[in-house]
């Protein structure tokens, strides 16, 4: 209302340019659609205007909202780990006691499950305070101005995007190795004598090296599992095949099963399917 009132005041003051007046008025409308109580309307408009991009997410959120809040709170008390549902069915599972454990776990930068605070007591005391984080690696990152961040789900060199289940598995391994490697780095004598800029460089390089190495080892395993490929599939050849197929629209619209058949045929045709 404040935005709309301000816009009306400007109009009443006699703005000379119609474009400015229109921009102010529509700016107020845009702000309204961003308000919490109208987010459902805004999401529906997005789904109508661009169904391919927004319809799936709108349906997922709408179906999940049918689960009563008390049921969702009970699910969180029984299973305090936060989940990352993919699709309508998992959105329902994530808010249902016992079934939520079938949905991929949300993980932090070191691969640890992200949990809600309070556990079973959250049903009685929803205002459980969040404990302060005191991690020497995070403290050092803040000191040298580095944002560790989460690894990407989309791997451009492979032309793929991990689904939520694959990403959770990937992050579980990658996060633990990254944590151990960074801890060894900041505790080393050589690192301790470096200047802040030098520490920043070493810190960033270590993150890049760890994630590059993990990509080369885990992504082939995840894709072999996704497409039910032979366990001895050549990872380098698989990477080339997936990267090329990622450019083909017809392939991207196929089911996972059909995509797997295409990949197997191409690997067999190459004559070098194994390592």
The residue with greater pLDDT, 79 or 23, is: 79
Give the number of C-alpha atoms closer than 13 A to the C-alpha of residue 179, restricted to the C-beta side. Answer: 15
Residue 58 has a pLDDT of: 47
Residue 71 has a pLDDT of: 45
Q: Is the pLDDT of residue 15 over 50?
A: no
Rounded to whole angstroms, the Cα distance separating 7 from 200 reads: 47
In the numeric block, which tokens belong to residue 74?
Answer: 């009970």
Partner residues linked to 160 by β-bridges: 155
What's the mean pLDDT in 93-112? 68
Domain extents in the chain: 2-123, 132-226, 231-275
Residue 83 has a pLDDT of: 58
223, 216 contact by CB (below 8 A): no
pTM: 0.60
Rounded to whole angstroms, the Cα distance separating 140 from 178 reads: 14
- Residue 156: pLDDT band (50, 70, 90) is confident
The residue with greater pLDDT, 43 or 271, is: 271
Least confident of 4-8, 28-32, 179-183, 198-202: 28-32
- Give per-residue burial for 7-23: e unless 16+ CB within 10 Å, then b: beeeeeeeeeeeeebee
Residue 28 has a pLDDT of: 46
What's the mean pLDDT in 17-45? 47
Residue 91 has a pLDDT of: 57
3-class SS of residue 105 = strand
In the numeric block, which tokens belong to residue 167?
Answer: 């990403």
What's the mean pLDDT in 184-212? 94
Residue 164 has a pLDDT of: 87
User: CB under 8 Å to 160, separation ≥6 — which residues?
Assistant: 154, 219, 223, 242, 246
The residue with greater pLDDT, 48 or 109, is: 109
What's the mean pLDDT in 82-93? 57
CA angle 69, 95, 165 (to 5 degrees): 155
| Torsion-angle region of 141 (φ positive above 0: left; ψ -120 to 50: alpha; else: beta) | alpha
Rounded to whole angstroms, the Cα distance separating 27 from 19 reads: 12
In the numeric block, which tokens belong to residue 182?
Answer: 């960074």
Mean pLDDT, the chain, as a whole number? 73
Strand extents, DSSP E, the chain: 154-155, 160-161
Partner residues linked to 161 by β-bridges: 154
Rounded to whole angstroms, the Cα distance separating 165 from 11 reads: 52
Residue 209 has a pLDDT of: 93
Residue percentage of the chain with pLDDT more than 90: 39
Going 259 to 169 to 209 to 151, the CA torsion angle's sign is positive
- Residue 183: pLDDT band (50, 70, 90) is very high
Residue 24 has a pLDDT of: 43
The residue with greater pLDDT, 119 or 221, is: 221
In the numeric block, which tokens belong to residue 53?
Answer: 């991009």
What's the length of the chain? Answer: 275
Residue 182 has a pLDDT of: 94
Q: Secondary structure of 79-102 in the HEC alphabet?
A: CCECECCCCHHHHHHCCCCCHHHH
What's the mean pLDDT in 183-190? 93
Provide the terminal-to-terminal Cα distance of the chain, rounded to the nearest Å. Answer: 65
What confidence tens digit (pLDDT) does each residue in 203-256 have?
Answer: 999 999 999 999 888 999 999 999 999 989 999 999 999 999 999 999 999 999
CA-nearest of 260, 247, 181, 259 to 214 is 181
Which string of DSSP letters, residue by residue, matches 215-247?
HHHHHHHHHHHHTT--TTB-HHHHHHHHHHHTT
Q: What are phi and psi of 155, to 5 degrees?
A: -105, 100
């Amino acid at each position: 209302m404040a935005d709309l009132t301000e816009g009306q005041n400007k109009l009443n003051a006699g703005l000379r340019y119609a474009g400015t007046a229109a921009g102010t008025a529509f700016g107020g409308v845009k702000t309204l659609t961003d308000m919490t109580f109208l987010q459902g309307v805004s999401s529906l408009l997005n789904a109508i205007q661009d169904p391919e991009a927004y319809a799936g997410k709108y349906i997922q959120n709408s179906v999940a909202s049918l689960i009563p809040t008390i049921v969702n709170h009970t699910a969180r008390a029984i299973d305090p780990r936060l989940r990352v549902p993919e699709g309508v069915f998992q959105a329902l599972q994530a808010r249902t006691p016992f079934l939520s454990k079938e949905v991929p776990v949300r993980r932090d930068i070191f691969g640890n499950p992200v949990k809600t605070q309070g556990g079973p007591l959250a049903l009685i005391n929803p205002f459980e305070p969040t404990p302060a984080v005191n991690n020497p690696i995070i403290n050092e990152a803040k000191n040298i101005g580095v944002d560790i961040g989460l690894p990407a789900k989309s791997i451009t060199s492979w032309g793929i995007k991990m689904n939520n289940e694959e990403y959770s598995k990937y992050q579980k391994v990658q996060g633990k190795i990254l944590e151990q490697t960074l801890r060894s780095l900041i505790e080393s004598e050589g690192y301790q004598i470096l200047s802040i800029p030098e520490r920043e460089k070493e810190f960033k390089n270590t993150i890049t090296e760890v994630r590059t190495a993990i990509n080369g080892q885990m992504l082939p395993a995840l894709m072999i599992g996704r497409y039910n490929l032979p366990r001895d599939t050549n990872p380098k050849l698989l990477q080339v095949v997936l990267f090329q197929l990622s450019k083909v629209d017809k392939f991207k619209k196929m089911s996972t099963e059909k995509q797997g058949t295409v990949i197997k045929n191409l690997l067999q045709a190459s004559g070098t399917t194994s390592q």
